[in-house]
Amino acid sequence: MHKWLVGLLLAVLGLMQYHLWLGNGGWQDLQQVEKRVAIQEADNGPLRERNARLAAEVTDLKTGLDAIEERARSDMGMVRTDEQFFWVPGVAIENELIGIHAGMVSQPGALVSPEHQGSDE
C-alpha cells in the first residue's frame, strides 16, 4: 500500500510538473509571450516618439501663431504681404508649390489680376 501511494504521488507530481513546464499557460508559453512583448515594445518606441512630437505640434498650433506661420511657409509656400519672394531658376522646388502658388507671387502691394493668376509669364 505504501509503495502504491508513493507511486501515485510521484505520478501526480509529474503531471503537475508537465503542466507547469510544457502545458498550456506554462513556462514555455510565458517565455513566448515575453518575447512578443519585447518585440512589440521595440516597435512601439518610435511610435511613442512620433506621438509625442505630434502632441507637441498640436499644442503649439493651438497656442501660438508662430507654428501656423511656419507650417504655412513650409507646406504651402506662403509669404507675407510685406515680404518679397525670389525664385531662382535651376533650384529644385516642389512642383506642387510652384503650381499652386504661381499666381500669388507678385511685387509687394501689387494686385494680381484673375487672368494672370494661372499664366506662366
Q: Which of 5-14, 21-30, 71-80 has the highest mean pLDDT?
A: 5-14
Query: Over pLDDT 70: what percentage of the chain?
Result: 75
Give the pLDDT confidence score for residue 115 in this predicted structure. 47
C-alpha distances in Å from residue 50, one per residue of 23, 53, 71:
40, 5, 17
106-112: which pairs have CB atoms within 8 A and are 24 or more residues apart?
108/81, 108/82, 108/83, 108/84, 109/81
Report the C-alpha gap between 111 and 104 in whole angstroms: 9
DSSP string, 78-95: ---TTS-----TTS---H
pTM above 0.75, yes or no: no
Average pLDDT over the chain, rounded to an integer: 75
